Amino acid sequence: MARVPVKIVSWDEIVDWSRGLAFKIKESGFKPDLVVAVSRGGFVPARLICDFLDVTDLLSVQSQHWVEAAKAAEKAILRHPYKIDASGMKVLIVDDIVDTGDTLKLARDFVEKEWSPDEVRTAALQWISPVAKFKPDYYYIEVKEWTWFQYPWTRLEDTMQFIKRIFTEDERVKSRTVSEAELKNLFAEWYGVKPEDLGFYWDLALKALVEKGVLELVDEGYRLKTK
Ligand code: AMP
């Protein structure tokens, strides 16, 4: 069993899921005048939904998780909040996934209160029902077992974090050099996916981690760079 279960999501799946989500919205009779993407994960699904639902107006609000000082809990905050007059409009807020639900709920509450639209509804490609505190009005896939969905727009970012996590958390390799072959095996063990399935992102991630000074490349492989 993988320590962190990961599913690599393809671009084709994203198009399929967005089309399915748009179909559910259309079937319900809701026709948004304005789509709002929750930045950054909601950008691609929101753009595709505009295409499938024939919506021209697309805006975005950025919500980010913030670690509160001296608390382990994370809190979502809205970055760069701005005001528009959306009175008379039906608004659809779109994100990729509802996990804790904090992000989408924050965006929904903000738009409802500050933009004064006639109606606000929320949509996400995926909804992790056992953990989410918030259920979107529309979702395409209900996820029953928590998984990290490795979306195509965060391939590099995620791969870097996955590799770094092995070096910082796996007691077996913490303070030594690891060959690339061993690292690939550890990666498969930790995440249940093969580095080969990430295509060119594997090499890019290793290179970027060295450039950032997180890892160093030595003769026998990679090791955590000590400051
Ligand atoms: P939430 O916990 O619902 O506030 O999620 C915040 C954002 O983090 C989501 O919009 C995603 O972009 C990302 N995220 C959270 N959980 C996952 C997951 N299980 N898989 C992929 N991305 C996630």
Give the per-residue pLDDT at 66. Answer: 64
Residues 68 and 173 occupy one common structural domain? no
Residues 104 and 25 occupy one common structural domain? yes
Mean pLDDT of the chain: 95
| Backbone phi, psi, residue 106, to 5° | -60, -45
Among residues 56, 130, 50, 133, the alpha carbon closest in space to that of 94 is found at 50
- 1 is a domain residue: no
Map residue 76 onto helix, strand or coil: strand
Distance between CA atoms of 201 and 204, rounded to whole angstroms? 5
Tell me what percent of the residues of the chain surpass a pLDDT of 70: 96
| Backbone phi, psi, residue 78, to 5° | -95, 125
Which CATH number does the domain housing residue 179 bear? 1.10.10.10
Residues 48 and 160 occupy one common structural domain? no
User: Can you tell me the mean pLDDT for 62-71?
Assistant: 69
> For residue 100, what are the CA distances in angstroms to 64, 126, 157, 213?
13, 12, 21, 32
- 164 is a domain residue: yes
Which CATH number does the domain housing residue 141 bear? 3.40.50.2020
Ligand 1 atom nearest to 103, measured from its CA = 4
Distance between CA atoms of 192 and 107, rounded to whole angstroms? 33
Closest residue (by CA) to atom 5 of ligand 1? 99
Task: Please tell me the distance between residue 218's alpha carbon and the centre of ligand 1 in angstroms.
Answer: 35
- 34 touches 59 (CB < 8 A): yes
Give the per-residue pLDDT at 71. Answer: 55
- The whole model's pTM is what? 0.94
Distance between CA atoms of 43 and 205, rounded to whole angstroms? 23
- Total of domains in the chain: 2
Q: What is the pLDDT of residues 9-34, one digit of tens each?
A: 999 999 999 999 999 999 999 999 99
Task: Please tell me the distance between residue 99's alpha carbon and the centre of ligand 1 in angstroms.
Answer: 5
User: Can you tell me the mean pLDDT for 187-204?
Assistant: 98
Q: Which of 150, 167, 184 delimits the end of a domain?
A: 150
Residues 121 and 108 occupy one common structural domain? yes
User: Can you tell me the mean pLDDT for 154-178?
Assistant: 94
Question: Is 158's C-beta closer than 6 angstroms to any atom of ligand 1?
Answer: no
Ligand 1 atom nearest to 38, measured from its CA = 10
Give the per-residue pLDDT at 75. Answer: 78
Residues 106 and 201 occupy one common structural domain? no
Map residue 161 onto helix, strand or coil: helix
The residue to mutate among 103, 135, 143, 157, having the most atoms of ligand 1 within 8 angstroms of its beta carbon, is 103
Ligand 1 atom nearest to 128, measured from its CA = 19
Among residues 67, 130, 68, the alpha carbon closest in space to that of 98 is found at 130
Ligand 1 atom nearest to 40, measured from its CA = 12
Give the per-residue pLDDT at 64. Answer: 79
Residues 108 and 74 occupy one common structural domain? yes
Among residues 166, 204, 206, the alpha carbon closest in space to that of 188 is found at 166
Q: Which of 100, 134, 150 delimits the end of a domain?
A: 150
Residues 199 and 113 occupy one common structural domain? no
pLDDT at 69 over 70: no
Question: Is 45's C-beta closer than 6 angstroms to any atom of ligand 1?
Answer: no
Q: Domain limits at 40?
A: 6-150
